[in-house]
Structure 1
Amino acid sequence: MVVASTRYNALTVDVEDYFHVAAFDTTVSKQQWPDLPQRVVRNTEILLQQFEVHQAKATFFILGWVAERFPQLVQKIHAAGHEVASHGYAHAKASVQSQSEFLQDIQRAKALLEDITGSPVTGYRAPSFSIGKSNEWAFATLQQAGYLYSSSTYPVVHDLYGTPDWPQQPYKRTEGIWECPMPVLNKAGKQWPIAGGGYFRLLPYWLSKKCIDSYLKQSDSPYMFYFHPWEIDPQQPRFASAPFKSKFRHYTNLDRMEAKLVRLLQDYQWRSIREVFQPYFV
């Protein structure tokens, strides 16, 4: 196997099920979640196998709702040497919660994950990158809850999130917590989203790879990639009543994602945020 880059980059997985995604907030209620077919264990275990084959380590931002129901999955992730981090408990956007609600959510998730693994949980990612100018208090709240870093901002223009005028490199906030924003490619006077997720699924692999390589040439910071376990699962149940845009974003190329992910694992070397960004955190 020929590795295109020996530079370590950060691999991250937002561990949630297909029905948790914000795109289906108006289609599926939280009360329905327990009664829906659960696919997250199957899909995450496939990822763990692929990561082992390709000697990749990752940060798993695990939803507390998932951890509470499948603690053995969390233990398996931890035992395999990956970083266990928090995705909050109930997949509520930070931007729609009050400060007290947010604190309760992130404390509950952190305590749950630490009880399962027996190890400190220091990282957090907000659902839908939902920390921005309207709720900067979230950083102080995360620091209060005992987190070391957040990876909750994306410096792009997007219809659902985005902090285009915020820093593009890891930086320590005045609140005392580190923020590791998602990477963007600066080209033609614009900031292009290249961090994975739906863009990686929708675009051809050669284009994603070209963007990653360009980023590695122009940036001193490590590259960071993110995706979800449901993205490798074309057999997941479908919500026919969901809005067209939501269905297009969620279901397109599910059948191609795992093969593209394997190519990504082969072409680059991957480690957790805790390892890759450790020089920043000291």
Structure 2
Amino acid sequence: MFLSIDFEDFSHDLKRDLGVWDTGPLRVDALWRSYEAIASFLGSHGGPNGQNVTFFCTGVVAEYAPDLVAHIAGQGHEIACHYHFHDSMDRQSTQTINEMLMRAKDKLQEAANTPVRGFRAPKFRLNRDTPEQYKLIERHFDYDSSSFFETADQCLQFSRSMSLSKLQLIPLLSSQYKGRGPQIRLGGTYLKFAPDTVARDLIAQANSSGMTPQIYLHPYEIVEPKEFWVRHRDLARLGTGKATYWAMRQNQWLRFGSTRLLGKLARLIPPDGLSGRLDQLVTAQ
């Protein structure tokens, strides 16, 4: 089982999503504390091969906190790309996407002093109806981990439909629990709310369907909610109604289930530990 971290600044990204600003200061101290908590967890629970995992970092983190990205890479973790800003790519033009991919990759490689081979789209949002966006990713990266499937065969068929020749897809699982109810993913809010029995069943399902089990987490799920909380007054320009809604909505990401998340993850890790970095799965072309 692999673990990956979508390493982003929730407070910065929420303000950008809501139009409060284009970009602004990052909560670098909170990002450092979240990394230290993750590193401590891996030291205790990662096992012999799972001390190092993959961090999908936004380019803006590398731009404003290059020493943090350098430290993460220096500790042996893989630095992969999570776009430059945490924007929804499916709403953007081909030109903008190409510019943001290049900008992010350059900043990440400069900070990490290591090649950046992998990519994951913010919010896992890509236009999957046509190949254009995947072709742009293929131009800059060796693998992509932005897609969800139920079986390895579905992933292979999708890769062929996108006419991908070099880009390797390393997907995540999305499936119903025992064939009933909504689609559930192994990570984020889904993992926080799912009982251990459901998560274990999905891990077993991934293995049986030829998928590599992978759990994804975020920095804001690791530390105290206040670390990344956007205050009501910072949202005031949205108007009273929207500001109140988004001030309360943050509970879903920052508060509910977060204090139990690392304990749950520890119970899900196999006896021999985590499997390591995602770039280990990239086959030679």
TM-score (norm 1): 0.80
Residue identity (%): 24
Shift of 1:206: 3.3
- In structure 2, the partner of 1:47 is 38
Which residue number in structure 2 is paired with residue 131 of structure 1? Answer: 126
Shift of 1:182: 1.6
2:262 to 241, 248, 258: 258
Post-superposition offset of 1:245: 7.9
Would you say 1:167 and 2:154 are equivalent positions?
Answer: yes
Q: How far 1:264 sits from its partner (Å)? A: 3.3
Kept after mapping to 2: 8 A contact 1:185/1:194: yes
Change (3 A) 1:221 1:39: same
Other-structure match for 1:274: 279
Q: Is the 8 A contact 1:99 1:138 kept in 2?
A: yes
Query: SS of the counterpart of 2:32?
Result: helix
Q: Structure 2: which 5+ residue stretches go unaligned?
A: 233-243
Distance 1:42 1:208 in 2: 27
CA contact (8 A) 2:186 2:202 kept: no
Note the alpha carbon deviations across 1:197-230, whole angstroms, 9 max, x for none: 11011222333123212332x2222111111011
In structure 1, the partner of 2:237 is: none
- CA change 1:230–1:180 in 2 (3 A) is same
Would the aligned equivalents of 2:149 and 2:175 in 1 still touch at CA under 8 Å? no
Q: Give secondary structure in 1 for the equivalent of 2:25.
A: helix
Give yes or no for the alignment of 1:154 onto 2:148: yes
Q: In 1, distance between residues paired with 2:131 and 2:29?
A: 34
Mapped partners of 2:13, 2:193: distance in 1: 17
Amino acid at match of 1:214: Q
Match of 1:185 among 175, 182, 187: 175
**What residue in structure 2 maps to residue 213 of structure 1?**
204
Which of 59, 71, 92 lines up with 1:76 in the alignment?
Answer: 71
User: Equivalent residue for 2:250?
Assistant: 247
Number of corresponding residues: 261
For the 8 Å contact 1:20–1:91, the answer to whether it is kept is no
1 or 2, which has the higher helix percentage? Answer: 2
| 1:70-122 deviation per Cα after TM superposition (whole angstroms, max 9, x unaligned) | 11221222122211100011111111211111111110111111112222111
Question: Which amino acid is the alignment partner of residue 127 of structure 2?
Answer: G
Q: 1:131-154, CA deviations, whole angstroms, 9 ceiling, x for partnerless residues?
A: 13356311111222x211111123
- RMSD between superposed Cα atoms in Å: 3.0
Residue of structure 2 equivalent to 1:19: 11
Out of 265-274 and 119-128, give the one that drifted further: 265-274
Task: Mark the runs of 5 or more structure 1 residues left unpaired by the alignment.
Answer: 1-8, 157-163
Separation (CA, whole Å) in 2 of partners of 1:110 and 1:149: 13
**Contact conserved, 2:34 with 2:220, CA < 8 A, in 1?**
yes
Q: Distance in 2 between matches of 1:24 and 1:117?
A: 25
> Which letter does structure 2 place at the counterpart of 1:231?
E
Mapped partners of 1:38, 1:80: distance in 2: 18
Partners of 1:41 and 1:23 in 2: how far apart? 20
Asked if structure 1 preserves the Cα contact closer than 8 Å seen for 2:206 and 2:212, the reply is no
* C-alpha contact 1:168 1:182 (8 A) present in aligned 2: no
